[in-house]
Amino acid sequence: MFDALRNYINNYASSQISEEDFDLVKQAFKHKKIRKRQYFLQEGDVCKYTAFISKGAMRQYSVDENGNERIIRLGIENWWMGDFESFVMLTPSLYNIDAVEDSDILMVTNEQMQLLRAQVPAIEATIKVMDQNRAIAYEKRIRASISFSAEERYLELQKTYPALLQRFPQTMIASYLGISPETLSRIRKQLAVK
Amino acid sequence: MFDALRNYINNYASSQISEEDFDLVKQAFKHKKIRKRQYFLQEGDVCKYTAFISKGAMRQYSVDENGNERIIRLGIENWWMGDFESFVMLTPSLYNIDAVEDSDILMVTNEQMQLLRAQVPAIEATIKVMDQNRAIAYEKRIRASISFSAEERYLELQKTYPALLQRFPQTMIASYLGISPETLSRIRKQLAVK
DNA sequence: CGGATCGTTGATCAACTTCAACGGTCGTGG
DNA sequence: CCACGACCGTTGAAGTTGATCAACGATCCG
């Protein structure tokens, strides 16, 4: 259960995390199984935990006034899931997060995370790299949304995170790209011809 | 010249930075005056420095195959400017950065920044808060780009960063929002009527 | 087996872009 | 200090992209 997280840390921190340090990590995280369609977070609630997905697939989305779901993040194994703003500021979330497949997650509060960060150098290092990577990934996505057409954004996603295309239904991919399912269907048809 | 930076740090770190610590900061940063239209970074170059804008206004943009400028970031006093990916990874940048007004900037390399971070607790604290705020701001912008119409994105910008609207020509604001200058002009006309 | 979900396709519609022209303002070089 | 050119914002018309509405077949799951 914790192996995925251990590998993740060892991969991000430059050195291996010691057994004692990893015990601290284990104590800070709560394991939870979450079934397909089950909520991890509902709009209006505070996102008290951030979750490391050790198995499964999840999504974060808001619902507009017409009832349309707008997916702003997708996550699978070895990704983190949570509403960052709500988690850090302890404000009510604008988002829902639920499982798209049966999932195993490891949950931690921000308080525990900050403690771990201070106690365990490997965690501190991991978080720094994560912060960097997140900033870079977000900048790319912002650039794509300003500069690229729907087709280009789809191709970019296909190139960057091909795994997501296999794990989530096309409707969700479309929503994540900010386009309608019909448009994505037509783009794929179009690309198949080429 | 360094006052803006000192205030910035004192504002972000929970405690005041000591005089000795701030001397270290002063040594790490290089001051530079940069004239309107002058480049801070050109596409293809590595972004060796990140800049704290102590006075002035700058923009980061890419140029597409048709010669259109796509602005992905605007910055004024007390904001940081630089291509984060290039700065961290030392890869050639896809962007240009130039001054929109005559500006005073304080420049630092990533290496020096990491050293400062290790030596000066106030810098470490400041960067942590910056990382958080950046992530939150980026998530909002991604959400806006997926979910909101051009008019809604303009209103959001007006609400969140009204100062930007005063400092940059409308053409640049339009580019930053990912819409054409004509569309922004019509949106503003439309809103004026209401 | 039956209902729900998913992807596809066609037709129409709305949002936004592009192209073109014009007037105003600002900064600069003569 | 003035005149000129560059840039900026505005407006109109036409064109494109993608959204919406609607219908249908396939598949999956209970």
* CATH number where B108 lies: 2.60.120.10
B118 at interface of A, judged by CB pairs closer than 8 A: no
* Structural domain contains residue A144: no
A-B interface: how many C-beta pairs under 8 angstroms?
76
Q: Does B142 touch chain A (CB under 8 A)?
A: yes
Q: Length of chain B in residues, anyone?
A: 194
Q: From residue A24, how far is each of A1, A6, A18, A27, A112 by CA, in Å? A: 15, 12, 10, 5, 10
Judged by average pLDDT, the poorest of A82-91, A143-152, B102-111 is: A143-152
pLDDT at A194: 60
Tokens of A60: 């974060």
| Residues B120-175: tens digit of each pLDDT | 999 999 999 999 999 999 999 999 998 899 999 999 999 999 999 999 999 999 99
Yes or no: say if A87 and A80 are a contact pair by the CB < 8 Å rule.
no
Per residue in A8-45, pLDDT (tens digit) is 999 999 888 999 999 999 999 999 999 999 999 999 99
Q: Which tens digit of pLDDT belongs to each residue from B31-70?
A: 999 999 999 999 999 999 999 999 999 999 998 877 789 9
- The pLDDT assigned to A154 comes to 95
Q: Is residue A173 part of a domain?
A: no
Q: Which residue among A71, A135, A177 places its CB closest to the CB of B84?
A: A135
Residue A15 DSSP SS3: coil
B145 CB within 8 Å of a chain A CB? yes
Placement of tokens 């809604």 in the chain: B152
- Whether B36 and chain A come into contact, CB under 8 Å, resolves to no
Assess A91–B contact: CB distance below 8 Å, yes or no: no
The rounded mean pLDDT for chain A is 94
- Cβ contact B142–A72 (<8 Å): yes
Quick one: which residue's CA is nearest to C18's C1'?
B180
- Whether A135 sits inside 8 A of B138 (CB atoms) is yes
Distance, CA of B82 to CA of B70 (rounded, Å): 16
* CA–CA separation, B95 and B192 (whole Å): 34
Cβ-in-10-Å burial (0-12, 13-18, 19+) of A43 comes to middle
Q: Determine, yes or no, domain membership for A191.
A: no
Structural contact between residues A63 and A69, judged by C-beta atoms closer than 8 angstroms: yes
Contact list, B135 vs chain A (CB under 8 Å): 84, 131, 134-135, 138
Q: What is the pLDDT of residue A189?
A: 93
Spacing of A180 CA from D20 C1' in Å: 9
Reported pTM: 0.93
Q: Which residues 111 to 170 of B reach strand D, CB within 7 A?
A: 169-170
Set of chain B residues whose Cβ sits within 8 Å of the Cβ of A142: 72, 138, 141-142, 145
- In sequence order, what are the beta bridge partners of B58? B75, B99
3-state secondary structure of A100: coil
| A193: helix, strand or coil | helix
* Residue A29 falls inside a structural domain: yes
For chain A, what percentages of helix, strand and coil (3-state, to nearest 5) are there? Answer: 50, 25, 25
Between the CA of B169 and the C1' of C30, what is the distance in angstroms?
Answer: 29
A85 touches chain B (CB under 8 A): yes
Residue of A189, A183, A172, A141 lying closest to A68 (CA atoms): A172
Write down the pLDDT at residue A66.
76
Query: For A91, phi and psi rounded to 5 degrees?
Result: -95, 155
CA distance A169 to B101: 48
Domain total in chain B: 1
CA distances from B12 to B6, B127, B139 (A): 10, 8, 20
Per the structure, the complete domain to which residue B37 belongs is given by 3-119
Q: Say what the pLDDT of residue B194 is.
A: 62
Q: Shortest Cα distance from B134 to chain A (angstroms)?
A: 8
Q: What is the pLDDT of residue B122?
A: 96
Residue B181 counted as domain residue: no
Closest nt to residue A148, judged CA to C1' = D17
Whole-Å CA distances, A168 to A116, A136, B143: 33, 23, 19
Give the range with max mean pLDDT: A180-194, B80-94, B138-152. Answer: B80-94
Determine, yes or no, domain membership for A78: yes
Sign of the Cα pseudo-torsion (A17, A18, A24, A29, in order): positive
- Residue B131 inside a domain? The answer is no
**Mean predicted confidence (pLDDT) in B12-41:** 93
- Is residue B157 a part of any domain in this protein? no
The 8-class DSSP code of residue A192 comes to: H
> Is the C-beta of residue A45 closer than 7 Å to nucleic acid chain D?
no
B-facing residues of A in 42-61 (CB < 8 A) are none
Task: Return d(Cα B125, Cα A103) in angstroms, integer.
Answer: 35
- Using a 7 Å cut-off to protein CB atoms, list the covered nucleotides of chain D: 7-13, 17-22
Chain B residues in contact with A175 by the CB 8 A cut-off are 146
Residue range A51-76, pLDDT digits in tens: 999 999 999 999 887 778 999 999 99
A151 touches strand D (CB under 7 A): yes
Cβ of residue A131 closer than 8 Å to a chain B Cβ:
yes
- Which residue, counting CA atoms, is nearest to the C1' of nucleotide D12? B182
Instruction: Give whole-number Cα distances, B156 to A30, A37, B166, in Å.
Output: 37, 32, 15
Angle at B164 between CA B160 and CA B170, to 5 degrees: 120
Closest to B128 measured CA to CA, from A64, A92, A79, A117: A117
